[in-house]
Amino acid sequence: MILGMIKVEIPEQLSDALRNVRRVVVLTGAGVSAESNIPTFREAQTGLWEKYDPTELATPQAFNCNPRLVWDWYRWRRELISAAKPNPGHLALVEMEAHIPEFTLVTQNVDGLHRRAGSKNVLELHGNIMLTKCFDCGRGVEIEAGNPGELPRCRDCGGLLRPDVVWFGENLPAAAIEGAMQAARQAEVFFSIGTSALVQPAASLPLYAIQGGATVVEVNPAETPLSAQVQFVLRGPAGEVLPALVKVVWE
Protein backbone atom coordinates (compact mmCIF):
# COMPACT_ATOMS: atom_id res chain seq x y z
CA MET A 1 0.00 0.00 0.00
CA ILE A 2 1.37 3.40 -0.96
CA LEU A 3 -0.13 6.10 1.25
CA GLY A 4 2.54 8.76 1.37
CA MET A 5 6.18 8.63 0.42
CA ILE A 6 6.79 4.95 1.06
CA LYS A 7 5.19 1.60 0.25
CA VAL A 8 3.94 0.12 3.53
CA GLU A 9 3.52 -3.66 3.65
CA ILE A 10 1.34 -4.89 6.55
CA PRO A 11 1.81 -8.65 7.11
CA GLU A 12 -1.53 -10.50 6.90
CA GLN A 13 -0.71 -12.45 10.07
CA LEU A 14 -0.42 -9.13 11.96
CA SER A 15 -3.61 -7.61 10.56
CA ASP A 16 -5.53 -10.83 11.37
CA ALA A 17 -4.15 -10.82 14.94
CA LEU A 18 -5.21 -7.18 15.43
CA ARG A 19 -8.78 -7.76 14.23
CA ASN A 20 -9.50 -10.15 17.12
CA VAL A 21 -7.27 -8.74 19.83
CA ARG A 22 -8.43 -7.51 23.25
CA ARG A 23 -5.36 -6.09 24.98
CA VAL A 24 -2.87 -3.86 23.11
CA VAL A 25 -0.04 -1.80 24.60
CA VAL A 26 1.82 0.84 22.62
CA LEU A 27 5.14 2.33 23.77
CA THR A 28 6.18 5.51 21.96
CA GLY A 29 9.36 7.54 21.91
CA ALA A 30 10.56 10.77 20.34
CA GLY A 31 10.32 9.29 16.84
CA VAL A 32 6.51 9.46 16.87
CA SER A 33 6.79 13.26 17.23
CA ALA A 34 9.57 13.63 14.65
CA GLU A 35 6.97 14.27 11.92
CA SER A 36 5.58 17.05 14.12
CA ASN A 37 8.98 18.73 13.72
CA ILE A 38 10.12 18.00 17.26
CA PRO A 39 13.75 16.77 17.09
CA THR A 40 14.38 13.36 18.63
CA PHE A 41 16.89 13.10 21.46
CA ARG A 42 19.60 11.29 19.61
CA GLU A 43 19.45 13.35 16.47
CA ALA A 44 21.75 16.35 16.52
CA GLN A 45 20.04 19.20 18.32
CA THR A 46 19.28 22.14 16.08
CA GLY A 47 20.19 25.80 16.19
CA LEU A 48 21.88 27.27 19.26
CA TRP A 49 21.44 23.97 21.12
CA GLU A 50 23.55 22.08 18.59
CA LYS A 51 26.57 22.06 20.91
CA TYR A 52 24.64 20.72 23.90
CA ASP A 53 23.99 17.06 24.71
CA PRO A 54 20.45 16.62 26.12
CA THR A 55 21.74 14.04 28.57
CA GLU A 56 23.91 16.80 30.06
CA LEU A 57 21.04 19.28 30.33
CA ALA A 58 18.20 17.05 31.55
CA THR A 59 19.76 16.30 34.96
CA PRO A 60 19.39 17.66 38.51
CA GLN A 61 23.14 18.32 38.52
CA ALA A 62 22.90 20.52 35.42
CA PHE A 63 20.02 22.43 36.99
CA ASN A 64 21.89 22.92 40.26
CA CYS A 65 24.97 24.06 38.39
CA ASN A 66 23.29 26.34 35.83
CA PRO A 67 19.51 26.68 36.30
CA ARG A 68 19.28 29.50 33.77
CA LEU A 69 20.86 27.41 30.98
CA VAL A 70 18.50 24.52 31.74
CA TRP A 71 15.49 26.85 31.83
CA ASP A 72 16.53 28.46 28.53
CA TRP A 73 16.71 25.00 26.94
CA TYR A 74 13.27 24.02 28.25
CA ARG A 75 11.75 27.35 27.20
CA TRP A 76 13.15 26.75 23.70
CA ARG A 77 11.61 23.23 23.68
CA ARG A 78 8.28 24.49 25.08
CA GLU A 79 8.08 27.02 22.23
CA LEU A 80 8.88 24.26 19.70
CA ILE A 81 6.21 22.01 21.20
CA SER A 82 3.57 24.75 21.48
CA ALA A 83 3.97 25.34 17.73
CA ALA A 84 3.81 21.61 16.96
CA LYS A 85 0.68 19.69 15.99
CA PRO A 86 -0.15 16.01 16.31
CA ASN A 87 0.81 14.21 13.08
CA PRO A 88 -0.93 11.33 11.25
CA GLY A 89 0.95 8.86 13.45
CA HIS A 90 -0.58 10.31 16.63
CA LEU A 91 -4.01 10.39 14.98
CA ALA A 92 -3.74 6.76 13.81
CA LEU A 93 -3.11 5.72 17.43
CA VAL A 94 -6.31 7.53 18.47
CA GLU A 95 -8.21 5.50 15.85
CA MET A 96 -6.52 2.28 16.94
CA GLU A 97 -7.59 2.93 20.57
CA ALA A 98 -11.22 3.19 19.41
CA HIS A 99 -11.08 -0.35 17.99
CA ILE A 100 -9.32 -2.10 20.87
CA PRO A 101 -11.21 -3.12 24.04
CA GLU A 102 -8.22 -2.63 26.38
CA PHE A 103 -5.71 -0.15 24.91
CA THR A 104 -2.82 1.39 26.86
CA LEU A 105 -0.57 4.07 25.37
CA VAL A 106 2.72 4.42 27.25
CA THR A 107 4.89 7.32 26.15
CA GLN A 108 8.41 8.49 26.97
CA ASN A 109 7.59 11.81 25.32
CA VAL A 110 6.95 14.91 27.38
CA ASP A 111 5.32 16.88 24.55
CA GLY A 112 1.70 16.04 25.40
CA LEU A 113 0.90 15.44 21.69
CA HIS A 114 -0.85 12.08 22.29
CA ARG A 115 -3.41 13.73 24.57
CA ARG A 116 -3.74 16.69 22.21
CA ALA A 117 -4.41 14.21 19.37
CA GLY A 118 -7.24 12.64 21.44
CA SER A 119 -5.63 9.52 22.95
CA LYS A 120 -7.38 8.68 26.23
CA ASN A 121 -5.52 6.00 28.19
CA VAL A 122 -2.05 7.61 28.19
CA LEU A 123 0.74 6.90 30.70
CA GLU A 124 3.41 9.64 30.56
CA LEU A 125 6.51 7.91 31.95
CA HIS A 126 8.75 10.99 31.79
CA GLY A 127 6.24 13.70 32.76
CA ASN A 128 4.99 16.66 30.76
CA ILE A 129 7.22 19.55 29.69
CA MET A 130 4.40 22.09 30.00
CA LEU A 131 4.01 21.39 33.75
CA THR A 132 6.18 23.02 36.42
CA LYS A 133 7.05 22.08 40.01
CA CYS A 134 9.33 23.28 42.81
CA PHE A 135 12.83 21.81 42.69
CA ASP A 136 12.97 21.87 46.52
CA CYS A 137 9.52 21.02 47.91
CA GLY A 138 8.11 19.31 44.78
CA ARG A 139 4.87 21.33 44.80
CA GLY A 140 3.26 21.58 41.35
CA VAL A 141 2.50 25.10 40.19
CA GLU A 142 0.13 26.40 37.52
CA ILE A 143 1.91 29.58 36.60
CA GLU A 144 5.52 30.60 36.97
CA ALA A 145 5.15 33.99 38.63
CA GLY A 146 8.24 36.12 38.80
CA ASN A 147 9.88 39.11 37.24
CA PRO A 148 11.06 38.77 33.65
CA GLY A 149 14.73 37.89 33.57
CA GLU A 150 14.53 36.27 37.00
CA LEU A 151 14.25 32.53 37.49
CA PRO A 152 10.74 31.51 38.69
CA ARG A 153 10.47 30.61 42.37
CA CYS A 154 8.05 28.60 44.53
CA ARG A 155 5.56 30.73 46.46
CA ASP A 156 5.58 28.19 49.31
CA CYS A 157 9.25 27.67 50.04
CA GLY A 158 11.07 30.10 47.77
CA GLY A 159 12.89 27.25 46.01
CA LEU A 160 13.59 27.38 42.28
CA LEU A 161 10.84 26.08 40.01
CA ARG A 162 11.71 23.46 37.35
CA PRO A 163 9.92 21.70 34.48
CA ASP A 164 7.89 18.75 35.82
CA VAL A 165 9.72 16.12 33.73
CA VAL A 166 11.83 13.12 34.77
CA TRP A 167 15.56 13.88 34.48
CA PHE A 168 18.32 11.32 34.07
CA GLY A 169 18.94 9.63 37.41
CA GLU A 170 15.49 10.49 38.77
CA ASN A 171 12.63 8.08 39.56
CA LEU A 172 9.72 7.79 37.19
CA PRO A 173 6.19 8.49 38.49
CA ALA A 174 5.41 5.21 40.32
CA ALA A 175 1.81 4.90 39.12
CA ALA A 176 2.83 5.38 35.48
CA ILE A 177 5.69 2.88 35.39
CA GLU A 178 3.85 0.25 37.50
CA GLY A 179 0.77 0.59 35.30
CA ALA A 180 2.95 0.30 32.19
CA MET A 181 4.72 -2.82 33.45
CA GLN A 182 1.46 -4.54 34.38
CA ALA A 183 -0.11 -3.68 31.03
CA ALA A 184 3.00 -4.90 29.15
CA ARG A 185 2.93 -8.26 30.97
CA GLN A 186 -0.73 -8.78 30.02
CA ALA A 187 -0.55 -7.46 26.46
CA GLU A 188 -1.55 -9.67 23.55
CA VAL A 189 0.07 -7.29 21.06
CA PHE A 190 2.79 -4.77 22.03
CA PHE A 191 3.97 -1.99 19.71
CA SER A 192 7.33 -0.23 20.16
CA ILE A 193 7.08 2.92 18.06
CA GLY A 194 9.69 5.62 17.45
CA THR A 195 12.02 4.71 20.28
CA SER A 196 15.68 3.73 20.24
CA ALA A 197 14.84 1.18 23.00
CA LEU A 198 17.94 2.30 24.94
CA VAL A 199 16.67 4.09 28.04
CA GLN A 200 15.51 2.11 31.08
CA PRO A 201 13.03 1.29 32.50
CA ALA A 202 10.95 1.95 29.36
CA ALA A 203 13.27 -0.25 27.27
CA SER A 204 12.31 -3.26 29.44
CA LEU A 205 8.60 -2.98 28.68
CA PRO A 206 8.72 -4.88 25.36
CA LEU A 207 10.74 -7.61 27.09
CA TYR A 208 7.98 -8.00 29.72
CA ALA A 209 5.51 -8.28 26.85
CA ILE A 210 7.63 -11.00 25.18
CA GLN A 211 7.80 -12.87 28.51
CA GLY A 212 4.02 -12.63 28.72
CA GLY A 213 3.67 -14.24 25.28
CA ALA A 214 2.70 -11.09 23.38
CA THR A 215 3.22 -10.49 19.68
CA VAL A 216 5.67 -7.57 19.52
CA VAL A 217 5.80 -5.09 16.62
CA GLU A 218 8.44 -2.41 16.06
CA VAL A 219 7.69 0.70 13.99
CA ASN A 220 10.91 2.61 13.26
CA PRO A 221 12.76 3.68 10.09
CA ALA A 222 15.99 2.45 11.68
CA GLU A 223 17.14 -0.73 13.41
CA THR A 224 17.27 -0.78 17.22
CA PRO A 225 18.53 -3.28 19.84
CA LEU A 226 14.93 -4.53 20.01
CA SER A 227 14.56 -5.25 16.28
CA ALA A 228 16.01 -8.78 16.44
CA GLN A 229 13.63 -9.77 19.25
CA VAL A 230 10.28 -8.80 17.73
CA GLN A 231 7.91 -10.76 15.47
CA PHE A 232 7.14 -7.89 13.11
CA VAL A 233 9.29 -4.94 12.04
CA LEU A 234 7.47 -2.22 10.10
CA ARG A 235 10.47 -0.28 8.79
CA GLY A 236 9.31 3.27 8.12
CA PRO A 237 8.16 6.57 9.64
CA ALA A 238 5.29 6.29 12.12
CA GLY A 239 3.36 9.04 10.32
CA GLU A 240 3.04 6.77 7.28
CA VAL A 241 3.18 3.26 8.71
CA LEU A 242 0.49 3.72 11.38
CA PRO A 243 -2.20 5.20 9.10
CA ALA A 244 -1.52 2.37 6.62
CA LEU A 245 -1.85 -0.21 9.42
CA VAL A 246 -5.14 1.24 10.67
CA LYS A 247 -6.49 1.38 7.08
CA VAL A 248 -5.61 -2.25 6.34
CA VAL A 249 -6.90 -3.64 9.64
CA TRP A 250 -9.98 -1.58 10.41
CA GLU A 251 -11.20 0.21 7.28
Q: Which stretch binds ligand APR (CB under 6 A): 69-77, 137-145, 147-155, 220-228?
A: 220-228
Q: Select from 15-23, 115-123, 177-185, 232-240 the region that touches ligand APR (CB under 6 A).
A: 232-240
Catalytic site includes residue 114: no
Of all residues in the shown chain, the one whose CB is closest to ligand APR is 31
Cα Rg of the chain, angstroms: 19
> Binding of ligand APR at residue 237 (CB under 6 A)?
yes
| Separate counts of helices (H) and strands (E) for the chain | 9, 9
Number of neighbours of residue 37 by Cβ within 10 angstroms: 13
Sheet holding 232-234, edge to edge: 122-124, 102-107, 23-28, 189-193, 215-219, 232-234
Nearer to ligand APR, 4 or 221 (CB): 221
- Binding to ligand APR (CB under 6 A) within 119-148 occurs at 126
Scan residues 24-43 and list those touching ligand APR (CB under 6 A): 29-32, 34-35, 40-42
Q: Beta 127-134 vs 140-141: how paired, if at all?
A: antiparallel
132-144: burial string, b at 16+ Cβ within 10 Å, e else: bbbbeeeeebeee
Cβ at position 157, least distance to ligand APR in Å = 27
Q: Read off φ and ψ for residue 131, nearest 5 degrees.
A: -95, 155
Task: Considering the complex, state which of residue 29 and residue 243 has its C-beta at the smaller distance from ligand APR.
Answer: 29
Task: Give the binding site for ligand APR (CB under 6 A).
Answer: 29-32, 34-35, 40-42, 54, 108, 126, 194-196, 198-199, 219-222, 224, 237-239
